[in-house]
Amino acid sequence: MSDTTPSSSSTPSPEDKRAELRRAALEYHEFPVPGKISIAATKQMVNQRDLSLAYSPGVAAPCEEIVKDPANAFKYTARGNLVAVITNGTAVLGLGDIGPLASKPVMEGKGVLFKKFAGVDVFDIEIDEKDPAKLVEVIAALEPTFGAINLEDIKAPDCFYVERELRKRMKIPVFHDDQHGTAITVAAAMLNGLKVAGKDIADVKLVTSGAGAAALACLNLLLKVGLKRENVFVTDLAGVVYEGRTELMDDDKRQYMQNTTARTLAEVIEGADVFLGLSAGGVLKPAMVAKMATRPVIFALANPNPEITPEDARTVRDDIIMATGRTDYPNQVNNVLCFPYIFRGALDSGATTITDEMEIAAVHAIAELAQAEQSERVAAAYVGEKLSFGPEYLIPKPFDPRLMMKIAPAVAKAAEESGVALRPIKDMDAYRDKLQSFVYASGTTMKPIFDAAKRAPKKRVAYCEGEEERVLRAAQIVVDEGIARPTLIGRPAIIAQRIEKFGLRLKEELDYDVVNVEQDHRYRDFWQTYHRMTERKGITVQVAKIEMRRRLTLIGAMLLHKGEVDGMICGTWGTTLIHLHYIDQVIGDLAPDLRTPI
């Protein structure tokens, strides 16, 4: 036994945690090779013929076709799937004006997100130019190379000018993610937050803290989805943006001037239904939260420290609906929820720009997905978190694989409807299948199996562990896809309760059948049949009764034996041997060609 007393410093301090995170981040970026991105060839290069096709003389053929029709560049080059992530490094995250070279890790990181979440290729371009007019010239000259431009971390108000000028001049989408990506995610979360609060966006009073690029873009988009201009009050470092104010004003901010006597956030926040913070940590005080309307929606999005923490806000009231920009609180507003998929839809439809309609389509797609039931994959990625629509779940999680299949088609369709799609999606169902094959590695392999299951005349399948979350989520998909009709084995009340808890839409009798393990009219017939099958192996009447009540796999096997289902699925817990023991007792005498274990 040690004679030393455990140190009170055994728990890492916040400083220790930050130091460890910094060390891990540096190692992540350095090893096994420096940086986070590389270029991979999409064509083989193994012999002289490949060389002659990839370069001279064969490469001349696609060049000549592009001369005939510039649109052929999307057919013969990677331009249609290539995005430029461009910055001048003047407003990088919370680091400020660190310059283009130091911003490169951030731009590479953006490229990783594009590729990981939407399969979009990226060149990161860091430009050493602070003059907005010159920056526009440099970026505009890059148009022949790319299918779209993602502007990143350019300071306000320069970012407004740069984006406006580029959109005038370029015939490919130009998207400033700090503005529009944030705005789309905020708008989706806001619509859902107000839905939870039981309020109409047209009637709410909204107060903002911050009037930078992101904040103004959020307001502009919120107006397009129903917020009333007269109900918007903006505050910044100089206080309320009121009529006649001259300090720290510009044209973009002037459109939100209000005829009010309020001069501070503390004054204007009274009676507000919504607080939208994109400013600095700690600016919203608990006393201000106390003055807001009932069921206030508070978006404290400053990073790393929000305008107010959920803990501080709840010291004065417990009816708040809250979102932050942090991963350690519910409802993280994260741009990655939208930008990869907006570009995916824009590129695939050949959009020449990003229209308001495309942004609004993305807003509604994200909002609707949060209200849908969760997939097993999402539940597995966020074990322990509440993932059903409500105050703590207003927007989807970044690793929800359905984001691309929901947002990209919506954006592509909006591009066509707004007249900017040069290559409209002709078959939207086929397009969704293509996206699904990217999201789910097994999608292409499993599709013929799913199609065959849908055509099968016998579709009744027993799910032995019918109360399990994974089983219920799988059953929802099976019902939605028309693959089979589930028979869930378990307690009906528990099954119904968990269906509601997980936000699923299954209805007993309409969508599925139940075998009640506590009381079912088939129980006597089942245990008697089981006893006849096994009495020579030592199974007594009493044991048969007990086993048929508690062994879920045994019940499923008996359903199959009696012809009440056409298949069964079991084994979400325990070992294969345990389940096979009961299956063999009941259906073990079937001919080998009638048994298809998986």
Backbone angles phi, psi at 230, to 5 degrees: -70, -10
Question: Is 64-172's fold the same as 180-333's?
Answer: yes
Is pLDDT above 90 for 438? no
Sign of the CA dihedral 503, 364, 232, 241?
Answer: positive
Is pLDDT above 50 for 576? yes
Reference 305, options 17, 11, 24, 94; nearest CA is: 94
Mean pLDDT of 479-506: 89
Is pLDDT above 70 for 80? yes
Mean pLDDT of 302-316: 92
Retrieve residue 140's tokens. Answer: 């505009």
Burial of 464 (0-12, 13-18, 19+ CB in 10 A): buried
Backbone conformation region of residue 128, classed left if phi is above 0, alpha if psi is from -120 to 50, else beta:
beta
- CATH of the structural domain 64-172, one choice from 3.40.50.10380, 3.40.50.300, 3.50.50.60, 3.40.109.10: 3.40.50.10380
> Which residue's structure tokens are 């900017």?
420
pLDDT for the residue 121 = 96
Pairwise CA distance, residues 91 & 110, whole Å? 15
Domain spanning 444-594, CATH architecture: 3-Layer(aba) Sandwich (3.40)
pLDDT for the residue 1 = 40
110 or 503, higher pLDDT: 110
> Which residue's structure tokens are 């103004």?
216
Mean pLDDT of 117-141: 97
Q: Do 265 and 241 touch, CB atoms closer than 8 A?
A: no
Strands 148-151 and 232-236: unpaired
Q: Do 468 and 489 touch, CB atoms closer than 8 A?
A: no
516-564 pLDDT, tens digit each: 999 999 999 999 999 999 999 899 999 999 999 999 999 999 999 999 9
Is pLDDT above 70 for 195? yes
pLDDT for the residue 2 = 41
Q: Which range is most confident: 219-233, 315-329, 563-577?
A: 219-233
Pairwise CA distance, residues 406 & 366, whole Å? 8
- Quote the mean pLDDT of the chain: 90
314-338 pLDDT, tens digit each: 999 999 999 999 888 889 998 889 9
Is pLDDT above 90 for 572? no
Pairwise CA distance, residues 380 & 200, whole Å? 34
Is pLDDT above 90 for 19? no
Reference 274, options 222, 213, 314; nearest CA is: 222
Rounded percentage of the chain residues whose pLDDT exceeds 90: 70
Q: What's 336-440's CATH class?
A: alpha beta
Query: Which pLDDT band holds residue 382 (cuts at 50, 70, 90)?
Result: low
Retrieve residue 71's tokens. Answer: 């649109």
pLDDT for the residue 326 = 86
Pairwise CA distance, residues 468 & 484, whole Å? 18
Query: Which pLDDT band holds residue 93 (cuts at 50, 70, 90)?
Result: confident
Is pLDDT above 70 for 384? no
Pairwise CA distance, residues 188 & 96, whole Å? 28
pLDDT for the residue 8 = 46
Rounded percentage of the chain residues whose pLDDT exceeds 70: 92
Task: Give Cα 479 distance to the centre of its chain.
Answer: 23
pLDDT for the residue 21 = 83
Q: What's 180-333's CATH class?
A: alpha beta
39-49 pLDDT, tens digit each: 889 999 899 99
Alpha helices in 69-145 (DSSP H): 73-76, 104-118, 132-140
Query: Which pLDDT band holds residue 500 (cuts at 50, 70, 90)?
Result: confident
Is pLDDT above 50 for 591? no
- Which residues are part of the catalytic machinery? 55, 110
Mean pLDDT of 565-588: 89
pLDDT for the residue 58 = 94
Pairwise CA distance, residues 408 & 434, whole Å? 11
pLDDT for the residue 502 = 81
Strands 206-209 and 274-277: parallel
User: What residues form DSSP beta bridges with 485?
Assistant: 460
554 or 480, higher pLDDT: 554
What is the edge-to-edge ordering of all strands in the sheet holding 121-126?
A: 121-126, 82-87, 148-151, 174-176
Pairwise CA distance, residues 214 & 179, whole Å? 4
Show me where the domains of the chain are located. Answer: 64-172, 180-333, 336-440, 444-594
pLDDT for the residue 60 = 96
Is pLDDT above 90 for 480? no
360 or 18, higher pLDDT: 360
Pairwise CA distance, residues 317 & 274, whole Å? 15
Angstrom CA distances, 56 to 48, 49, 285, 423, 491, stand at 11, 11, 67, 30, 71
Pairwise CA distance, residues 448 & 596, whole Å? 18
Retrieve residue 109's tokens. Answer: 């990181």
User: What residues form DSSP beta bridges with 351?
Assistant: 421
Q: Do 512 and 504 touch, CB atoms closer than 8 A?
A: no
Retrieve residue 226's tokens. Answer: 């129903």
Query: Which pLDDT band holds residue 447 (cuts at 50, 70, 90)?
Result: low
Treating both helix axes as pointing N-terminal to C-terminal, what angle do 177-197 and 356-371 enclose, rounded to 10 degrees? 40
Q: Coil, strand, or helix at residue 156?
A: coil
Pairwise CA distance, residues 391 & 297, whole Å? 10
Q: E strands within 282-410?
A: 297-300, 321-324
pLDDT for the residue 98 = 95
Query: Which pLDDT band holds residue 433 (cuts at 50, 70, 90)?
Result: confident
What is residue 398's DSSP assignment?
A: T
